[in-house]
Amino acid sequence: MRLRLLLVDDDAGLCEMLGTYLQAEGFAATAVGDGRAGVAAALSGHYDAVILDIMMPSLNGLDALREIRRHSDIPVIMLTARGDNLDRVVGLEMGADDYVPKPYDPRELVARVRAVLRRQPVIRNAARPQQYAVRGLVLTPGTRKVLWRGVQVDLTASEFNVLEALLRAGGAVVSKDDLSLQALGRRREPYDRSLDVHISNIRQKLQGSDGAAFGIETVRGVGYRIAGAG
């Protein structure tokens, strides 16, 4: 069965070209030309992932992403203007799984989509336990569910992959380069803040109202590790 992608972009010519390319790559692609219609389609349950442009009529891409994230954890890849780092960071902070700067190579976009949709980590040789349980956190790879102090936490696909990769390391430090390959399915680019933003989002979601938080430590100049998991 083909994976179903939703393209939300008001550039009809670009959508037609990209849709044809995606079809040739084995995807089923549907294009929507404005943000409000894109939100409705994304929440319909008919799609496996959304490719969402920032600059949209009636509802811009960031506002559309906010609406989608209120109701769904469907993977979302943002299309941003090249060099506009603020939009990229804001999009990631709001729950986007990845971004691709415009103009883009369709091959790169397809690679990013496949990486986000990949449910198995890039490094598949390590056995995946049925469950990780560390200091009040329970992560179940098979169902992709996370419980923090008994309450289910909604993570995006990329956030889940980042957290699982850190738990798999068992308290060892995971470099940013390795974490990007394992969790995001791509090499980390210079000055790429994607991982930092995903980690920040995870930390916010794994913090109780009493201030207690699940510990993800930053090892300056190297990467991240789970505190007390060894």
Supply the pLDDT for residue 229: 65
- 78 and 151 together in one domain: no
- 152 and 90 together in one domain: no
Q: What pLDDT, in 10s, does the model give residues 70-93?
A: 888 889 999 987 666 777 888 888
Answer with the one of 117, 152, 187 that is the final residue of a domain: 117
- 143 and 193 together in one domain: yes
Q: What pLDDT, in 10s, does the model give residues 169-216?
A: 888 899 999 898 888 877 888 778 889 999 999 999 998 766 678 889
- 157 and 195 together in one domain: yes
Confidence class for position 68, pLDDT limits 50, 70, 90: very high
- The verdict on residue 125 lying in a domain is no
- Are 184 and 194 in contact by the 8 Å Cβ rule? The answer is yes
- 161 and 110 together in one domain: no
Q: What pLDDT, in 10s, does the model give residues 88-138?
A: 888 888 889 898 988 888 998 998 898 888 754 443 334 456 789 998 899
- Are 64 and 90 in contact by the 8 Å Cβ rule? The answer is no
- 92 and 161 together in one domain: no
- The verdict on residue 68 lying in a domain is yes
- 143 and 211 together in one domain: yes
The pair of structure tokens assigned to 163 is 């957290």
Range of the domain at 206: 132-226
Structural domain count, the chain: 2
- The verdict on residue 31 lying in a domain is yes
Q: What is the CATH number of the domain that holds 211?
A: 1.10.10.10
* Percent of the chain residues past pLDDT 70, beyond the cut: 91
- 7 and 99 together in one domain: yes
Q: What pLDDT, in 10s, does the model give residues 25-50?
A: 999 999 999 999 999 999 998 999 99
Answer with the one of 117, 147, 180 that is the final residue of a domain: 117
- The verdict on residue 55 lying in a domain is yes
- 137 and 111 together in one domain: no
- 195 and 156 together in one domain: yes
Q: Identify the helix (H) or strand (E) that includes residue 201.
A: helix 194-205
- The verdict on residue 124 lying in a domain is no
The pair of structure tokens assigned to 77 is 């890849």
User: For the chain, what is the mean pLDDT?
Assistant: 86
- Are 44 and 74 in contact by the 8 Å Cβ rule? The answer is no
- The verdict on residue 37 lying in a domain is yes
Residue 209 DSSP code: T
Length of the chain: 230
Cα–Cα distance, 31 to 12 (Å, whole number): 8
- The verdict on residue 127 lying in a domain is no
Q: What is the CATH number of the domain that holds 49?
A: 3.40.50.2300
